Structure 1
Amino acid sequence: MPKIELKTKIKADRKVVFDLSRSIDLHKISTKHTNEEAIAGKTSGLIGMDESVTWRAKHFGIYQELTSKITEFNRPIFFVDEMVKGAFKEFKHEHYFTQLNNGTLMTDIFEYNSPFGVLGKIADKLFLKKYMIDLLTERNRVVKEFAESKKWKEILTE
């Protein structure tokens, strides 16, 4: 099972970073290049425990749908989303938020299993793992950009 771990230092309050990371609206912004849209479940605002969202996006030239559900949640320390239905055989995405003196360390741990057995494993090595790293890195870049500026106030309403 491929495992991706990314760490992003963000000069912002942990609660802001946590909430931006679970924002459906910010996720849409970070995935503009895939035409991603939330089409079922929680389709805007902040997703929480036991809530799910179904995304429709274009990856590798094909529109796909993926449903994930929040299965663990402890604001503002961590949350976990797991695939319920979609192109992967399975995936689990853990999000951790550690308070630092000058902000937050956001850690993503993304584990997945590709479908199609041996062909899936070959795809992982050839392009899929890098593709997923790039998607997560862009998402984290957008979270950081919004958290470190006043832009977060456009997404998170008190």
Structure 2
Amino acid sequence: MPRFEVSTSIAAPPQRVFDLSLEVEVHTSSMAGSTERAVDGVTSGQLALGDTVTWQARHFGLNWRMTSRISAYDPPGYFVDEQERGPFRRWHHAHHFEPDGRGGTLMRDVIDFAAPLGPLGRLAELLVLDHYMRRLISTRNEHLKGLAEASGP
């Protein structure tokens, strides 16, 4: 099962970065390239522990839906979103927000995922999905960084 981590330094306090990370509108604007939008559950505002949201997006030329739940939540240190229904056999995304000692945040995303379809899914993970998902998370993080740093102290 693939696991990867993406770290992003953000010149904004952990609470601001944590809060922005849970905003539905921030997520959808960060994923504009895949036309991602919230279509069920919490579809606007800030997500909290136990909330579910169904995302619809276009990846690889196909429309996908994924329902995820905020399954762990400890502001402003971390939260976890996990797939309840969707294209993956498993999706577990832990978001960590650590003070960097200079008033900013080290944001770490730790993602464990698995594609369906047994050996064919494993091949897709190795050939396409691992790189694609890293790039998607990095793009999201750069968008979040820009918003957090633009909003001032």
Q: TM-score, normalised by structure 2?
A: 0.97
C-alpha displacement of 1:59: 0.7
C-alpha displacement of 1:4: 1.1
C-alpha displacement of 1:142: 0.6
- Aligned partners of 1:112, 1:125: CA distance in 2, in Å? 12
Q: TM-score, normalised by structure 1?
A: 0.94
- Aligned partners of 2:35, 2:126: CA distance in 1, in Å? 25
Q: Deviations 1:116-138 (Å, cap 9, x if unpaired)?
A: 00001111111111100011000
User: What is the match of residue 31 of structure 1?
Assistant: 31
User: What is the match of residue 6 of structure 1?
Assistant: 6
- Aligned partners of 2:127, 2:119: CA distance in 1, in Å? 12
Flag structure 1 segments of 5+ consecutive residues without an equivalent.
Answer: 153-158
User: What is the match of residue 135 of structure 1?
Assistant: 136
Matched-pair contact (CA < 8 Å) for 2:114–2:125: no
Q: Deviations 1:13-61 (Å, cap 9, x if unpaired)?
A: 1100001111110001110010111000000111000000000100100
- Aligned partners of 2:114, 2:124: CA distance in 1, in Å? 11
Other structure's SS at 1:148 match: helix
> Pairwise mapping of residues 37-116 of structure 1 onto structure 2 (< 5 A)?
37-102=37-102, 103-116=104-117
- Aligned partners of 2:70, 2:124: CA distance in 1, in Å? 27
Flag structure 2 segments of 5+ consecutive residues without an equivalent.
Answer: none
Q: Does 1:147 align with 2:136?
A: no
Q: What amino acid is the match of 1:61?
A: G
Aligned residues: 152
- Aligned partners of 1:16, 1:50: CA distance in 2, in Å? 21
- Aligned partners of 1:4, 1:20: CA distance in 2, in Å? 22
Other structure's SS at 2:150 match: coil
Q: What amino acid is the match of 1:16?
A: R
4+ residue stretches of structure 1 with deviation over 2 A?
none
- Aligned partners of 2:35, 2:97: CA distance in 1, in Å? 28
Q: What amino acid is the match of 1:12?
A: A
Other structure's SS at 2:65 match: strand
Matched-pair contact (CA < 8 Å) for 2:10–2:105: yes
- Aligned partners of 1:111, 1:101: CA distance in 2, in Å? 28
C-alpha displacement of 1:101: 1.9
Q: What amino acid is the match of 1:127?
A: V
Q: What amino acid is the match of 2:77?
A: I
